[in-house]
Amino acid sequence: MKTKVEGLIQRCDRPDFTPGKRHFPELLELAVSDDESIRKKAISAWLRAGAPGLDWLVRELEGQEFSSTFRARIARVIQRFAADDVGSSRVQMQELLKDPDEQVQRVVIQAMGQWKDAEEVQLEALLLDHWNSVKELATERGIIKTLGRVGGEKSLALIQDYVDRLEEIDEATQKTIDKTRLEIERRLSRSEANGLDLNVPVQARLRIFSKPGLEFLVQDELKEHSLVSNTPGELECDWDAPLIQLYNSRVMLGFAIVTSSESTRGGLGQALARLLQKKSVLGVLKRVTRGPIRYRIEWMDHGKLRAETLEAAKLLSEGSPELVNDPSERDWDIEVYQVKKSIYALLKPRVEDTRFLWRQEDVPAASHPTVAAALVRLAQVFDRAKVWDPFMGSAQELIEAGKVANEVILVGSDTDAAAIEAARKNLDAAGVKAKIHQTMAQRLDITGQDFIITNPPLGWRIHGPHSVGKSLESLFKEVIPNLSRALKPGGKLVWMSPNPKLTDPIAKAQGLELRMKKPVDLGGMNATLQVWVKR
Ligand SMILES: C[S@@+](CC[C@H](N)C(=O)[O-])C[C@H]1O[C@@H](n2cnc3c(N)ncnc32)[C@H](O)[C@@H]1O
């Protein structure tokens, strides 16, 4: 048979059980039990009782003499109420801070740091006040830790004074002090104006990324900067211009500043601190950043390396206080790479990429916008050209074409109703006009086109209501003749062929001439970028 207590434990698990006055005495036993899982259950049930539960607890506490271990456990119960600011819980916590036993005080101090609104409720003053009455090192450490959440200039001053007076600092205390200082400095720096300014000219080594195979188009878009590519998907150059000009490339994926390298002597933390304070590195960070330089460190060849990150952040804040380790509000991602006995970093500014903001809706097989840009760039669309995308999807190619030339006459078709809707939304958002048909590419009756620009289905089995189960071969046998018919003589088909072996003979047989081909890695899927011209 179940005992009364077991019954109560079980009820605690049920979200619809709200304990009442008659349960409180037994619930208290459970809430301070030695078994942590029982304690947790009891406390969450008790929280459901709200202010009356708390009041009972407080009265209980006042009337009796409890051991300090017991009082510390009760403090944990009250803390749960205090986290949500229930009734008089916070006043009670302040009372408990006066407990003669510092073990109880420590529970309170730690708990206060976890209040969601800890920063706003003037805990700093309370804790600084309390500091003078503290005798035990563990309690001092507890206060310093919580000051990391709630402190400001005054806390920094107190910690400095503390450090100056101590003859020796043990490792745990030193760690707590370092962490707290960084947290406080980070918070203080947030009130200063900040942000990135990509309009200032910058001299730096840059690495620019693209889909592997599309480097040649990025080189063409940024030709005045003489980009070279030694690795698929990566280009490099010595840049001497505002970074904003990188966005003149619509095919690039992103970019980073490449630092020089630094030996790992003294460990990775020290090496990174030296690297980031080099004139060439700090100089460029300062130039582009207004206010504090907030960063996050990522060790690309290792795991988290918390100790090294903390060490680097500490050395940096001492040596160059404008550098603030602030992962959640960062403007810079600092990716650190190790090559044998040295490291270098890629500095990636976190800026909004405004090139493709019109993307309101996607389709599952949507082209990456830089791929759409690549197709359109390769086509060299001219003003007033007629352009058809037979596999329009979310209309990225059409929009891109509408952006690069004036008064283009755009037609899009797709079989999928969701694609049609997505295309309409995106075209509206982009302010580009196009005539849209919900029909099969092989069926649309259209002629006189200057360009067909498209990213067709690339999978072996085609999806979509009218193509399910068809092989690519049978689809393209039907579609390519219609594409060829639609082009005027000299008109261009610019597309991604999923399989040139299969599509090239069909295209040739339809009077198309291959002018260019280039394999592209579309993220695990290979396709070939091609330009065909109608004879
Ligand atoms: C790779 S997606 C196109 C992606 C598009 N460029 C974009 O950026 O969203 C291929 C599209 O072809 C459509 N489709 C498949 N078979 C078709 C057919 N026979 N005729 C017309 N559209 C078809 C699919 O519905 C899909 O939207």
Number of C-beta neighbours around residue 55 at 10 A: 15
Q: Is the pLDDT of residue 193 over 80?
A: no
Ligand 1 close to Cβ of residue 472 (< 6 A):
no
Ligand 1 close to Cβ of residue 453 (< 6 A):
no
Interval 282-299 mean pLDDT: 95
Ligand 1 close to Cβ of residue 289 (< 6 A):
no
478-484 contacts at long range (C-beta below 8 A, 24 or more positions apart): 478/442, 479/390, 479/441, 479/442, 480/506, 480/507, 480/510, 480/512, 481/442, 481/506, 481/510, 482/390, 482/441, 482/442, 482/443, 482/444, 483/390, 483/441, 483/452, 483/510, 484/510, 484/511, 484/512, 484/534
How far, in Å, is the centroid of ligand 1 from the Cα of 413? 8
Give the C-alpha separation, 327 to 183, whole Å: 11
pLDDT score recorded for residue 514:
98
Q: What are phi and psi of 192, to 5 degrees?
A: -85, 155
Give the C-alpha separation, 435 to 439, whole Å: 12
pLDDT score recorded for residue 493:
98
How far, in Å, is the centroid of ligand 1 from the Cα of 278? 51
Q: Is the pLDDT of residue 445 over 50?
A: yes
pLDDT score recorded for residue 492:
98
Ligand 1 close to Cβ of residue 127 (< 6 A):
no
Q: Give pLDDT tens digits for 484-504.
A: 999 999 999 999 999 999 999
Handedness of CA 241, 243, 248, 254 (dihedral sign): positive
Q: Is the pLDDT of residue 516 over 90?
A: yes
Interval 214-239 mean pLDDT: 96
Give the C-alpha separation, 191 to 182, whole Å: 15
Ligand 1 close to Cβ of residue 416 (< 6 A):
yes
Interval 209-217 mean pLDDT: 97
Residue minimizing CA distance to atom 15 of ligand 1: 464
Locate the ligand 1 atom nearest the alpha carbon of residue 394 and give its number. 9
CATH 1.25.10 fits 4-190, yes or no: yes
Q: What is the CATH number that goes with domain 193-355? A: 3.30.2130.30
Ligand 1 close to Cβ of residue 366 (< 6 A):
yes
Q: Assign 50 a pLDDT band (cuts: 50, 70, 90).
A: confident
Mutational pocket test of ligand 1: of 211, 392, 427, the residue with most ligand atoms within 8 Å of the beta carbon: 392
Interval 424-446 mean pLDDT: 96
Quick one: which of 104, 108, 102, 110 has its CA closest to 72? Answer: 104
Provide the residue type at 415 as one letter.
Answer: T
Give the C-alpha separation, 371 to 376, whole Å: 9
pLDDT score recorded for residue 15:
85
Ligand 1 close to Cβ of residue 391 (< 6 A):
yes
Q: Where are the domains of the chain?
A: 4-190, 193-355, 369-534
| Three-state secondary structure of 288-344 | HEECCEEEEEEECCCCCCHHHHHHHHHHHHHHCCCEEECHHHCCEEEEEEEECCEEE
Residue minimizing CA distance to atom 27 of ligand 1: 393
Ligand 1 close to Cβ of residue 393 (< 6 A):
yes
Helices (H), 67-225: 68-83, 89-96, 102-112, 123-131, 137-150, 153-165, 171-190, 215-221
Tokens of 319: 């040596």
**24, HSE (Cβ side, Cα atoms, 13 Å):** 20
Interval 376-383 mean pLDDT: 97
E strand or H helix at 5? helix 4-12
Interval 315-324 mean pLDDT: 96
Mutational pocket test of ligand 1: of 211, 358, 361, 363, the residue with most ligand atoms within 8 Å of the beta carbon: 363
Q: Give pLDDT tens digits for 231-244.
A: 999 999 999 999 99
Per CATH, which fold does 369-534 belong to?
Rossmann fold (3.40.50)
Which range among 259-268, 355-364, 493-502 shows the weakest confidence by mean pLDDT? Answer: 355-364
Tokens of 142: 């507890």
Locate the ligand 1 atom nearest the alpha carbon of residue 441 and give its number. 20
Give the C-alpha separation, 25 to 214, whole Å: 72
Give the C-alpha separation, 521 to 505, whole Å: 23
Locate the ligand 1 atom nearest the alpha carbon of residue 389 and give its number. 6
Ligand 1 close to Cβ of residue 369 (< 6 A):
no
- Percent share of the chain, pLDDT over 90: 67
Mean pLDDT of the chain: 91
Interval 105-125 mean pLDDT: 84
C-beta of residue 535 within 8 angstroms of C-beta of residue 489? yes
pLDDT score recorded for residue 465:
44
How far, in Å, is the centroid of ligand 1 from the Cα of 108? 61
Q: Is the pLDDT of residue 395 over 80?
A: yes
Helices (H), 338-471: 369-379, 396-404, 417-430
Q: Assign 467 a pLDDT band (cuts: 50, 70, 90).
A: very low
pLDDT score recorded for residue 469:
45
How far, in Å, is the centroid of ligand 1 from the Cα of 414? 6
Q: Is the pLDDT of residue 28 over 90?
A: no
Spacing of C-alpha 118 from chain mean position: 26
Q: Give pLDDT tens digits for 57-99.
A: 888 877 677 888 888 888 888 888 888 888 888 888 888 899 8
Tokens of 123: 């805990």
Give the C-alpha separation, 43 to 280, whole Å: 56
Which range among 20-34, 211-225, 364-378 shows the weakest confidence by mean pLDDT? Answer: 20-34
Interval 130-147 mean pLDDT: 95
pLDDT score recorded for residue 218:
98
Which range among 196-205, 341-350, 386-395 shows the weakest confidence by mean pLDDT? Answer: 196-205
Ligand 1 close to Cβ of residue 365 (< 6 A):
yes
Ligand 1 close to Cβ of residue 527 (< 6 A):
no
- Percent share of the chain, pLDDT over 70: 97
Instruction: Collapse the DSSP code of 413 into the 3-class scheme (helix H, G, I; strand E, B; otherwise coil) and give the result.
Output: strand
